[in-house]
Structure 1
Amino acid sequence: MNAKLILNMEKHLIDSAEEYAAKNGKPLSRLVADFFQMLKNSNAEKEPQLPPTVASLKGVLKGSGIQEEDYKQYLEEKYL
């Protein structure tokens, strides 16, 4: 289902976009739709990249029985 979208931007950007669309044989609305789809896809696929050292530690404490409260108590005893 298509819907109408109104965008407000600087005239030179519109002119550049229309020129680009004409050179590539696509309607400007198709370029905008493709751009939004690209943004959606790139955000869906992005998972935070952990440094290799951190990634290797992921899940190490799972099932160890250590609770967040235990960790907080340890830090209080160590630093207070």
Structure 2
Amino acid sequence: MSTKLTLTLEKEVIEKAKEYAHEQKRSLSNLIEEYLRSITEGKEAKDIELTPLVKSLKGSVKIPESGSFDEKQILEDELIKKYLG
């Protein structure tokens, strides 16, 4: 059973979301419903459709298996290499 939901969002966000939905040939309601379903049903990451950009980034970061992962330090190190390197 479908029920109406009213959301208050910034106008720019709504406009971009409508444009994205149109490009995907889906309704904005459908996109929001699928997103909410995915976060509330505990979908595994492998079950979520990835955009081409996200697919292109897959595997670009290697996380050490030791369990010690400091994302801020890694970001800092990479920025230093890029700009001062």
- TM-score with structure 2 length normalisation? 0.48
C-alpha distance after superposition, 1:4-36 (max 9, x if no partner): 000001000000100000000000000000010
Larger Rg: 1
1:57-72 maps to which residues of 2 (within 5 A)? none
Query: Percent identity of the aligned residues?
Result: 34
Q: Which runs of 5+ in 1 are unaligned?
A: 46-80
- TM-score with structure 1 length normalisation? 0.51
How many positions carry a matched residue from both structures? 45
Kindly indicate whether residue 27 of structure 2 is the aligned counterpart of residue 27 of structure 1.
yes
Kindly indicate whether residue 31 of structure 2 is the aligned counterpart of residue 36 of structure 1.
no
Structure 1 residue aligned with 2:4: 4
Q: Counterparts of 2:5 and 2:41 in 1: how far apart (Å)? A: 20
Q: Which runs of 5+ in 2 are unaligned?
A: 45-85
RMSD between superposed Cα atoms in Å: 1.9
Q: Counterparts of 1:16 and 1:41 in 2: how far apart (Å)? A: 26
C-alpha distance after superposition, 1:25-68 (max 9, x if no partner): 000000000010011123x77xxxxxxxxxxxxxxxxxxxxxxx
Structure 1 residue ranges, 4+ long, deviating more than 2 angstroms after superposition: none
